[in-house]
Amino acid sequence: MLPPFPSKGLSAWGEPPQITGSQVLTNPLLNKGTAFTETERDALGLRGLLPPRVFTIEEQLKRTLNSLRRKPDNIEKYIYLTTLQNRNEVLFYRLVLDHIEETVPLIYTPTVGQACLEYGSIYRRPRGMFISLRERGRIAEILRHWPQPGVRLIVVTDGERILGLGDLGALGMGIPVGKLSLYTACAGVHPGYCLPITLDVGTDNLALHAGEAYIGLKEKRVRGAVYDEFIEEFVTAVKTVFPKALLQWEDFGNTNAFRMLSTYRRRILSFNDDIQGTASVALAGFLGALRLTGSTLVQQKLLFLGAGEAGTGIADLYVAAAKAAGLSEADARARCWFVDSKGLLVKHRGDPFPAHKAPYAHDHPLVATLAEAVETLKPTALIGVSGQPATFTQEIVAAMARNHPRPIIFALSNPTSKAECTAEQAYTWSDGRAIFASGSPFPEMTLNGQRHVPGQGNNVYIFPGVGLGALVCEATEVTDTMFLAAAQTLASLVEPADLAVGRVYPPLTKIRDVSLRIATAVAECAHAAGLARLPRPADISADIQSRMFQPIYREYI
Ligand code: NAD
């Protein structure tokens, strides 16, 4: 069971800290910096190691925020925040939570994309584990090198498909690090439980092989049996060393992502956020949008640009939701259409489809372009998950607005530079009628006197709550029903005031409550399906809340 991590008098693992002096100051989970009290300074041997004035956390926050805001650009802010996190986790999380709308885009998308590109030069100290092909045969032994016992949550990548930026190899480490920071900030999973991992299986990005600052193996990516055996050894090692851990697959290339999800989802507590988390957050936004259009789930026709992990994951969850609303599976799938790099996905197109695309290849003549597909199919919703910027052109957005009074336009590709269109373009080209959401944040705008606040379909609304819910009840599996419940819960938290400005997600400032509600819904699903190892507590929500990490300094004395 997850201990509740009391904030007073005890260290993270329920024991008084055995270490003193400079060791306390260099352990970010114990360090309070200038906030150690006079009594603590005497008891822990800190006299002389700190400047004499004792600060409150509020004073530290003010100073830290000022320093953050003085940094000249987002990557400098990212580096500043990372350094703070490596020094004093409580202060870092308090800052993130108190200024969540300002800090999430710095610790995750869009800044994390730039941070990954520059990871070789901004890398300062290990935060997470690199496990490379060189460690084949000894992965369990390597995992035991991690200094924190009892890891419960692992986010792992092999760096092949980092956001919309492609193969960044070992530089992808920024992603698991960032996602786990969001788990703590947004859902209160104690940082001591979290382990970011990058599997270095080489990279096909030849520019990295040539780069001086590249920190990974300078060799081509392994594929086939060697890759599969490496992953198999990794999963087995995680089960052995951290038997209660939840494994979140992150930013794997789609040829591996789908296979690994289906191979492992019942063998180890795990999910793929790019497929399942994205699906859930997009469906939630879609459900929110339907409250604005006044139409129902079963009346929709969805056209996706991009038929990869995100696109087919969203379609699969839409199908599950439409089935729950009364449609047959065939009818639900018939409402989902895809344009990929070869045009409209139709039967007899001539190219072999991978398994995830096949259910959406319909009987229809070949259509070459997105613009033609919009004209021919007249979709109610256009969803961009292609990683191809500027593909929702003025012509396409205008056509969507001609065909429907409130067209749903989601430009989900990350980072910002890859979005299919900007919020401003979607609103302007549709005369302010588009219901818009994006993967990366866009500023609000006013058009013809109407305020438009774009929703950010950020996975952070979903995965922290889902992971927390699965952890607290010690679920044996993370099911699609749980992601559907998460989407419905998130959509139910959108207030009329949000909808009035076109926002289909709640503001990020409510993220702790959102995560708690989702975790509760997920744990309810696990108990209902007989997938929880722990007995059902009388009040699931109160039980989860009592376990959430709060960024409050503990008192040592
Ligand atoms: P993926 O590599 O699995 O799929 C990309 C798809 O786009 C493939 O089907 C590919 O054929 C298609 N594509 C490529 N070029 C194209 C073109 N010119 N025209 C049409 N289709 C084209 O990647 P993914 O995991 O599905 O992610 C896709 C994008 O979605 C990324 O930019 C990612 O950042 C974004 N994404 C956003 C969210 C979110 O907003 N919450 C979550 C996950 C992924």
The helix (run of H) or strand (run of E) holding residue 301 is none
The β-bridge relationship of strands 445-447 and 450-452 is antiparallel
Query: Once rounded to an integer, what is the mean pLDDT over residues 216-238?
Result: 98
Q: How far is the CA of 487 from the centre of ligand 1 (A)?
A: 20
pLDDT band at 12 (very low <50, low <70, confident <90, very high): very low
Distance of alpha carbon 249 from alpha carbon 480, whole angstroms: 15
> Which pLDDT score is estimated for 342?
94
217 inside domain: yes
Residue 365 preceded by cis peptide, ω within 30: no
Quick check: 71 and 65 in contact, CB under 8 A?
no
Please state the three-class secondary structure of 403-461 as a single string. HCCCCEEEECCCCHHHCCCCHHHHHHHCCCCCEEEECCCCCCEEECCEEECCEECCHHH
Domain tally, the chain: 2
Res. 6: pLDDT tops 50: no
> Which pLDDT score is estimated for 17?
54
124 inside domain: yes
515 inside domain: yes
- Encode pLDDT of 116-173 as tens digits: 999 988 877 778 999 999 999 999 999 999 988 889 999 999 999 998 899 999 999 9
Distance of alpha carbon 243 from alpha carbon 292, whole angstroms: 45
Same domain flag for 258 and 285: no
- Encode pLDDT of 43-99 as tens digits: 999 999 999 999 999 999 999 999 999 999 999 999 999 999 999 999 999 999 999
> Which pLDDT score is estimated for 208?
96
The β-bridge relationship of strands 381-384 and 408-411 is parallel
User: Which atom belonging to ligand 1 lies closest to the Cα atom of 313?
Assistant: 26
> For residue 201, what are the contacts with CB-CB under 8 A and spacing of at least 6?
132, 133, 158, 217, 221, 222, 227, 230
Same domain flag for 106 and 241: yes
pLDDT band at 508 (very low <50, low <70, confident <90, very high): very high
User: Which atom belonging to ligand 1 lies closest to the Cα atom of 109?
Assistant: 34
- In short, whether 387's Cβ falls inside 6 Å of ligand 1 is yes
Res. 11: pLDDT tops 60: no
The protein residue with its alpha carbon nearest to ligand 1, atom 42, reads 278
- In short, whether 457's Cβ falls inside 6 Å of ligand 1 is yes
What is this structure's pTM? 0.94
Same domain flag for 335 and 246: no
Same domain flag for 165 and 90: yes
- Which CATH number does the domain housing residue 360 bear? 3.40.50.720
Ligand 1, from 112, 116, 412, 461: best to mutate by most atoms within 8 Å of Cβ?
412
Distance of alpha carbon 8 from alpha carbon 553, whole angstroms: 8
Res. 14: pLDDT tops 70: no
Q: Write out the two tokens for 520.
A: 């509760």
- In short, whether 439's Cβ falls inside 6 Å of ligand 1 is yes
Closest of 486, 490, 478, 484 to residue 529, by C-alpha: 478
- In short, whether 414's Cβ falls inside 6 Å of ligand 1 is yes
Residue 360 bears catalytic tag: no
Q: How far is the CA of 309 from the centre of ligand 1 (A)?
A: 7
Burial of 17 (0-12, 13-18, 19+ CB in 10 A): middle
Query: Once rounded to an integer, what is the mean pLDDT over residues 436-459?
Result: 96
> Which pLDDT score is estimated for 299?
94
Give the start-end residues of each E strand in 407-454. Answer: 408-411, 435-438, 445-447, 450-452
> Which pLDDT score is estimated for 447?
97
**Torsion, Cα of 81, 29, 153, 217 (10° steps):** 60
427 inside domain: yes
Distance of alpha carbon 66 from alpha carbon 130, whole angstroms: 34
> Which pLDDT score is estimated for 10?
31
Same domain flag for 322 and 217: no
Q: Name the residue with tokens 């009074």.
A: 405
Ligand 1, from 168, 271, 338, 340: best to mutate by most atoms within 8 Å of Cβ?
340
Q: How far is the CA of 347 from the centre of ligand 1 (A)?
A: 21
Residue 108 bears catalytic tag: yes
3-class DSSP state of 482: helix
> Which pLDDT score is estimated for 186?
98
3-class DSSP state of 319: helix
Q: How far is the CA of 306 from the centre of ligand 1 (A)?
A: 5
The DSSP call for residue 169 is G
User: Which atom belonging to ligand 1 lies closest to the Cα atom of 415?
Assistant: 34
Q: Write out the two tokens for 260.
A: 């690994």
Same domain flag for 259 and 285: no
> Which pLDDT score is estimated for 358?
94
Rounded percentage of the chain residues whose pLDDT exceeds 90: 89
Rounded percentage of the chain residues whose pLDDT exceeds 70: 97
71 inside domain: yes
Res. 38: pLDDT tops 90: yes
Dihedral (CA of 15, 21, 27, 33) sign? positive
Same domain flag for 259 and 129: yes
Marked catalytic residue, from 77, 78, 93, 108: 108
Quick check: 371 and 399 in contact, CB under 8 A?
yes
Q: Write out the two tokens for 519.
A: 């975790």
3-class DSSP state of 452: strand
- In short, whether 268's Cβ falls inside 6 Å of ligand 1 is no
> Which pLDDT score is estimated for 350?
84
- Which CATH number does the domain housing residue 156 bear? 3.40.50.10380
Query: Once rounded to an integer, what is the mean pLDDT over residues 217-235?
Result: 98
Query: Across the strands, what pairs with 195?
Result: 154
Q: Name the residue with tokens 């300094």.
A: 553
Same domain flag for 354 and 232: no
Closest of 327, 323, 179, 155 to residue 242, by C-alpha: 155
The protein residue with its alpha carbon nearest to ligand 1, atom 21, reads 340
Query: Across the strands, what pairs with 437?
Result: 410, 455
> Which pLDDT score is estimated for 205?
97
Closest of 59, 36, 31, 55 to residue 47, by C-alpha: 36
The β-bridge relationship of strands 270-272 and 194-200 is unpaired
The protein residue with its alpha carbon nearest to ligand 1, atom 36, reads 413
Averaged confidence pLDDT in the chain: 94
- Encode pLDDT of 317-373 as tens digits: 999 999 999 999 999 999 999 999 999 999 988 888 899 999 999 999 999 999 999
Final residue in a domain of this structure, among 268, 284, 301: 268
Q: How far is the CA of 388 from the centre of ligand 1 (A)?
A: 8
User: Which atom belonging to ligand 1 lies closest to the Cα atom of 163?
Assistant: 34
- In short, whether 454's Cβ falls inside 6 Å of ligand 1 is no
User: Which atom belonging to ligand 1 lies closest to the Cα atom of 440?
Assistant: 40
- In short, whether 250's Cβ falls inside 6 Å of ligand 1 is no
Distance of alpha carbon 283 from alpha carbon 491, whole angstroms: 8
373 inside domain: yes
User: Which atom belonging to ligand 1 lies closest to the Cα atom of 278?
Assistant: 42
- In short, whether 161's Cβ falls inside 6 Å of ligand 1 is yes
Same domain flag for 402 and 445: yes
Range of the domain at 470: 275-557
Final residue in a domain of this structure, among 237, 268, 299: 268
- In short, whether 388's Cβ falls inside 6 Å of ligand 1 is yes
Distance of alpha carbon 99 from alpha carbon 522, whole angstroms: 27
Quick check: 170 and 535 in contact, CB under 8 A?
no
- In short, whether 163's Cβ falls inside 6 Å of ligand 1 is yes
- In short, whether 459's Cβ falls inside 6 Å of ligand 1 is yes
- In short, whether 339's Cβ falls inside 6 Å of ligand 1 is yes
> Which pLDDT score is estimated for 301?
98
Same domain flag for 437 and 452: yes
Q: Name the residue with tokens 């005497």.
A: 42
- Cα 556 to Cα 7, 11, 146: the distances in Å are 10, 8, 25
